[in-house]
Amino acid sequence: MPMTMSEKILARAAGRPAVKPGEFVWARVDQTNAGAGELRVLDELGVKRLAAPNTVWATSDHYAPATDEHYANQDNVLRKYVRQYEIANFFEYGRHGIAHQLYGEHGAMLPGMLSAMSDSHSTSGGVFNCFATPIGSETVFVLATGLLWLQVPETIRIELIGTLPPLCYGKDVVLSILKQIGSEVGIYRAFEFGGLGLHSLTIASRWTLSNMGIELGAKAAICEYDEALGAYLAQRAKRSYEPVSPDPGCHYVRRHTLDLDRLEPMVACPHDPTNVRTAAEVEGLNIKVSQVFLGSCTNGRLEDLEIAAQILSGRQVHPDVRMIVSPASQAVWREAGSKGLLQTLAEAGALVSHSTCGPCFGGHLGVLGAGDVCMSSSNRNFRGRMGSAEATVYLGSAATVAATALAGRIIDPRSVIQEG
């Protein structure tokens, strides 16, 4: 029976010739992560060794580096267990990053693999033609046994055609999909992104698609393989891999086609990522902002910093706005530094910081207060997400964030270029 990419990966991981949607399977996980909490549970249960320590990745990203004594102690617990359990891939502060970005840079998630990590944005690994699914603290089970139960999901095919117009990016693509289909039809299902339009996107833009797959409700959000992905992985993959492609005639529960040529910059309005309007419409509402945030596993990549630096170069962030920049990884930070992007952003008046999840989830480094209005390149704008329940958050691309930083109000990035 012809299978989708997700079905093929799950069949292989479950050791079966084929699987079909609705079936329960036990699958062997190729890549996972470990946190201090999960490892402590295993230690308390008397587990002496992990099922497959070389498949385990660890870092500390949410409060990087430790923001108080408590997190410092947590980090030390993690370091202790990394040694005790001989975890192969651990990244110390300075060499760290947000897990989804960091592990991708190091070739952790590869085509054809089954990845299962704790954080919800673990759908990000789908960019690598990998079935990457978030499982919360269930990693404790995977760490101990190497196994994960899954109900084989139905697949939704998103066919991308055309090419992106100027100042539109992966973020605008995924916000546009969220606008069209909402967050409910994707629940329990796998998304499959493909078509010539996908292959015309940069890896960074595709990464944003898979990353926000979770906002579509997805169990996984897998992209087709192509030569560009092969080239990205060439220096990173430490093992051979086998890309998967959908079998001709495989079954999709739904199909959507998105014409990139007709895309416009998009903005998700409070308080849900599905509450999407065009940036032009939102510009008409004259929404003044107090903070903008450029960063996160969604849009903190080199491409995003380049776009923002290009818009902000030789200009100044609006006097009423504070701009926080946090690259998705320290590798991005270093590369952006060597290209002069961090300098450009700092000269424009932005606060350029290190890599951390902090601002995105209201943890630290620019938590919002009551009445704050933030334009963010991150992934969620639920009430209270970035701090106060009295704050409002809008989501958009790095270009929309940078343009908004200049104007002091949410604008379509194409407006800046026209004025400039």
Please report, as ranges, the residues that interact with other proteins according to CB under 8 A: 24, 26, 36-37, 41, 45-47, 62-63, 70-71, 74, 118-120, 122, 134-138, 140-141, 144-145, 149, 151, 183-184, 187-188, 214, 217-219, 272, 274, 361-363, 367, 380, 382-385, 387, 389
CB contact burial 355-378 (16+ within 10 A = b; e otherwise):
bbbbbbbbbbbbbbeeebbbbbbb
Taking the complex as a whole, how short is the minimal distance between the CB of residue 32 and other proteins, in angstroms? Answer: 13
Taking the complex as a whole, how short is the minimal distance between the CB of residue 47 and other proteins, in angstroms? Answer: 7
Taking the complex as a whole, how short is the minimal distance between the CB of residue 372 and other proteins, in angstroms? Answer: 14
Taking the complex as a whole, how short is the minimal distance between the CB of residue 136 and other proteins, in angstroms? Answer: 4
Q: Please identify, using beta-carbon distances, which residue of 70 and 262 lies nearer to other proteins.
A: 70
CB contact burial 167-197 (16+ within 10 A = b; e otherwise):
bbbbbbbbbbbbbebbeeebeebbbbbbbeb
Q: Please identify, using beta-carbon distances, which residue of 122 and 210 lies nearer to other proteins.
A: 122
The owner of tokens 């776009």 is 307
Taking the complex as a whole, how short is the minimal distance between the CB of residue 413 and other proteins, in angstroms? Answer: 27
Q: Please identify, using beta-carbon distances, which residue of 344 and 378 lies nearer to other proteins.
A: 378
Query: Would you say 163 and 129 are in contact if contact means Cβ atoms under 8 Å apart?
Result: no
Take residue 74 and report the two structure tokens written for it: 């947590």
Taking the complex as a whole, how short is the minimal distance between the CB of residue 109 and other proteins, in angstroms? Answer: 17
Distance CA 256, CA 180 (A): 10
Distance CA 208, CA 243 (A): 20
Taking the complex as a whole, how short is the minimal distance between the CB of residue 35 and other proteins, in angstroms? Answer: 8
Taking the complex as a whole, how short is the minimal distance between the CB of residue 9 and other proteins, in angstroms? Answer: 17
Residue 8, CB-side half-sphere exposure with 13 Å CA sphere? 21
Q: Please identify, using beta-carbon distances, which residue of 119 and 283 lies nearer to other proteins.
A: 119
Q: Please identify, using beta-carbon distances, which residue of 19 and 229 lies nearer to other proteins.
A: 19
Q: Please identify, using beta-carbon distances, which residue of 210 and 344 lies nearer to other proteins.
A: 210
**The amino acid at 255:** R
Alpha-carbon separation of residue 121 from 44, 73, 98, 296, 378 (angstroms): 28, 25, 10, 10, 11
Taking the complex as a whole, how short is the minimal distance between the CB of residue 187 and other proteins, in angstroms? Answer: 6
Take residue 204 and report the two structure tokens written for it: 């960074």
Distance CA 136, CA 215 (A): 15
The owner of tokens 């084989």 is 152
Q: Please identify, using beta-carbon distances, which residue of 168 and 360 lies nearer to other proteins.
A: 360
Q: Please identify, using beta-carbon distances, which residue of 149 and 242 lies nearer to other proteins.
A: 149
Take residue 211 and report the two structure tokens written for it: 């990353």
Take residue 308 and report the two structure tokens written for it: 């923002």
Q: Please identify, using beta-carbon distances, which residue of 339 and 383 lies nearer to other proteins.
A: 383
Residues 6+ apart with CB under 8 A from 337: 343
Q: Please identify, using beta-carbon distances, which residue of 26 and 259 lies nearer to other proteins.
A: 26
Distance CA 272, CA 191 (A): 20
Taking the complex as a whole, how short is the minimal distance between the CB of residue 211 and other proteins, in angstroms? Answer: 14
Query: Would you say 404 and 292 are in contact if contact means Cβ atoms under 8 Å apart?
Result: yes
Closest CA to 104 of 14, 113, 197, 243: 113
Between helix 69-84 and helix 36-44 the angle, nearest 10°, is 60
Closest CA to 326 of 349, 304, 348: 304
